[in-house]
A and B are shown apart, each in its own frame.
Chain A
């Protein structure tokens, strides 16, 4: 049976049209865009078109505001280090507890080096307290960096409003929008967002290509120096094939934006409702009224995520989990913990993230596959047993912890 891929927040399949557009740039169009001869010139023109396509998707005012990087992580690091270097008199950063490690790990390291990091908390539904945020904005803050949409729960933050608030306080604002681009309409020219990170492989472009949007006039210090590429803001020979691929993917993302928010959303809602109706002691996490249209994060109480994934995988279904055991770190998801999800449920969270390639038949098959898997694992869980859920799980089973 054909495998079912529902892990699109991790990465997406390259669209065939993207691959087709890229291929000539591995063969006859191999030139260096910087060269004076015609080999380079055609590549240069292709990059210009791709830049315009990305500009269009983001609603940026100028195409020179698009800086191609190697990935979302590079864009994030560039934004953070630039803000600190360009404003040495400011040594504080405001971020949130639920950011991707590409932000959190950098902040942790900077904290050791003396930078003051403020991490905004979230409530049970993963929402921020904007009063807490407002109180922290000050002339000591070099940068606010907040994700547009959460990769695990899909919860959307009020980024445009937060950028306005930062602007009013004279503070630079960056958003990690790798999950939002292509799913949430973005119009940068009518916002106060200073910097934005985008990752190609989250929207059907290849891995190894990213973008940092950089508002014209924003003070900036390059992360990589050593060449005039990207107007001296990101040195290194352009990854021309991938840039062309990202251009095509951006044009497609704009075209499919409505589809994502109607059809993909409908399939997601059907999947979530189907599973919640069939499996007891199960709930959706995050701000379900304000989240990405493709993401369903479901907590199955009393079972552990990795077991669910292994059994799903056996049936050809790909999803991911916030459980500790599926990460290399053995730490349960910091996003689920930040929302105060009890650990017996946090370890059993499964994220289904759809794309425009998923079909109704696939959704039906997953709805059918999940309940027996959960039942099978609950049967051998000490919190559940043969007879059904434990009424007082903590009292009935209180293991001695190492």
Chain B
């Protein structure tokens, strides 16, 4: 009995020491499905490795990287200068960026919407509140219902910086939590418009985007995003505080390798190379 108790106690003390320390990935809601798929597949290949994936938004992930509560931040926008400053001040590192996918930031329309294409200027005017009726952009006579993301979202920041050119969204834009909620709202609203990652496109259609009135209308696809023809494309990043080692390095190397990039493509994004 004494031996058994000793063995149990020894195991209780020793096991946590040998247990694998999980690698945590936190941040972008846009990337959460892709990151989860990558993590699941990698864990299946490398038993004993634990990778935990959570969302919350790019800003939340980077904040967690700065305060030391996550190992990896997932972000659908580049890290800001002010965030790099905080990282340098707290951990004496500028951080390390790993672009793991490309995304064509898509404009969602309800499948019943007669509008098929929009110029960047029209999208901007719609979201700034200057254009409020679909008939102004070739659709039916109906009020445009705007769906947007919360301001902690990297997708929100990217869209604001690159489509709205830094200007603020119309106060009429309804803020929703997560790209899936935006897709769902547009799918149920014949007059709705939304934006987000290409991977979430279920029950809606993409607007073909024209750089300007004279340019051709381009739908987001592997070719158009990769070639840069599609006018609103971006990198999706994983950021680390330290130079990756051990499981983290293996995972990141694998994610940008052929197998990882195949999963990226299956989920609906585009490979980085």
Indicate whether A and B interact.
no
B binding-site residues for A, Cβ under 8 Å: none
